[in-house]
Chain A
């Protein structure tokens, strides 16, 4: 009895320790965003100035917009290509299927630096000038495998019989697909989309190699600022991003609890 109590206390203690480890850096960024002094080492009083500057800075706002546009478009296109592909792959014979799935694993397991470099070499070899579209293509490329891996298991779970039953009852294949199969795989499609969205938001390395002139995402902007001297408005931006995610999390948690109670 005492043992299990000690274990529980130790466990809680450990959780708190990890929490501090995880959140100390984030807290630091948040505090720095209110620091009137530009220096990271000195507290110059409390200010909201950096937030004002953030919304005025064309560089940061366009990087922010690029990040979101690329994340959204690449996730969307990857989901379309990926979902359609899963149906095709599922109907393949064993050998081609294994080959395709092996190729599918490459961008996921390959080191980002190798993927980034290979894409850059490819774009340059075919005379595609680096810019927004090359970042987008690259993000779609590393996103598709995540979509496939999310949708594939769901499609395997769907009963072929129901689909065939629908056909027997006179549905066209397309109708049967949308009425019978699609609802079953829908959760996989959505989680694939969201996974892709997150991956794209967080990517730096591949973007670093495939971005062109005058275009930045939040990641590449931070990287160049770190080497050049950071503007505190970036701290403000990260605080806003974090606060947004946190609020969404809490809201959705409350909403779900309410649904459960009903």
Chain B
């Protein structure tokens, strides 16, 4: 009796999730699988294979893979170094690295615009030093930079969390048994940090894959990513059916990453903050 009563406590939540998660998501399915007149069609979903959409998707995948890889390469040594500093848990240094996250996402991207512009700050400095100028604004390179900068903390945090939990004794034991630094890293530390790495990868990959903000601001609207296509179908093209159809395709990628997390990060170690 008592137990049933307590189950009731979940009802407001369940109602909320049905009303504001399940129903809205099913609307995407309804819009995505019908045409303007409301009859069933697969053409919205299949239009991902149309030349422009597929190109945009491919470019998005490439850019987000590259930026996820860069994030990983930058974040892992950073997390390792932070761990090796043997900082007490709430050290100021660790916080200094997460602090930029609290600047607004758009302000951070905007700052890069000012830095990278043709007459921007980096180029002003380079000119002053008589060095050749850096012309990456409005190119995919600028977008990758923006992605790495914005999503790097999502990679650092989970990896650091997992590394923190590795007992120093485990590492010392490996050393005592004759493993060199490299072996300790590849045989002990990396395998133990897989949950953190996997959740880091998904936490960077998904937003990078679907962004339209970074590509708009740093890409000068010259680079069309799949996120831009979807956003434009809703805000400019006024073809909601097509936009929903393409969103459905994006959900497939999200499902894949959910599956990855479920497989490698069973206890949600990396997800906790």
> Chain A residues in contact with chain B, CB under 8 A?
11-12, 14-15, 18-19, 21-26, 28-29, 32, 40-41, 81-82, 84-85, 87-89, 91-92, 100, 103-107, 109-114, 117-122, 125, 137-138, 140-141, 144, 148-150, 153, 173, 191, 195, 198, 201-202, 204-205, 209, 218-219, 222-223, 226-227, 230, 234, 238, 241-242, 245-246, 249-250, 253, 256
In the A-B complex, the 9 residue pairs with the smallest Cβ-Cβ separation, listed nearest first, are A88-B10, A85-B13, A25-B111, A122-B24, A88-B9, A118-B24, A111-B210, A222-B106, A41-B119
Looking at the complex, which of B38-46, B129-137, B166-174, B201-209 is the stretch in contact with chain A? B201-209
Contact A28 B213 (CB under 8 A): no
Q: Which residues of B contact A26 (CB under 8 A)?
A: 100, 103, 108, 111
Q: Which residues of B contact A120 (CB under 8 A)?
A: 234
Q: Which residues of B contact A246 (CB under 8 A)?
A: 99
Q: Which residues of B contact A81 (CB under 8 A)?
A: 12-13, 16
- Identify the closest chain A residue to B247 (Cβ): A114
**Complex CA–CA separation, A137 to B271 (angstroms):** 24
Q: Which residues of B contact A82 (CB under 8 A)?
A: 13
**Complex CA–CA separation, A201 to B27 (angstroms):** 27
Chain B 212-248 near chain A by CB (<8 Å), digits 1 or 0:
1100110000000001001100100000100110010
16 contacts between A and B (CB under 8 A): A23-B100, A25-B114, A26-B103, A29-B107, A106-B25, A112-B207, A118-B21, A140-B16, A141-B16, A144-B13, A202-B104, A204-B106, A204-B213, A219-B104, A234-B107, A249-B92
- Identify the closest chain B residue to A167 (Cβ): B2
> Chain B residues in contact with chain A, CB under 8 A?
2-3, 6-14, 16-17, 19-25, 27-28, 31, 74, 77-78, 81-82, 84, 90, 92-93, 95-97, 99-108, 110-115, 117, 119-121, 124, 149, 152, 202, 206-207, 209-210, 212-213, 216-217, 227, 230-231, 234, 240, 243-244, 247, 250-251, 254, 257-258, 261, 268, 271-273
Contact B271 A104 (CB under 8 A): no
A28-B114, A110-B251, A144-B17 known; 15 other A-B pairs, CB under 8 Å?
Answer: A14-B77, A18-B74, A24-B115, A32-B114, A40-B117, A87-B6, A106-B25, A118-B27, A118-B28, A122-B27, A173-B2, A205-B213, A222-B106, A245-B102, A250-B92
- Identify the closest chain A residue to B28 (Cβ): A118
Contact A105 B258 (CB under 8 A): yes
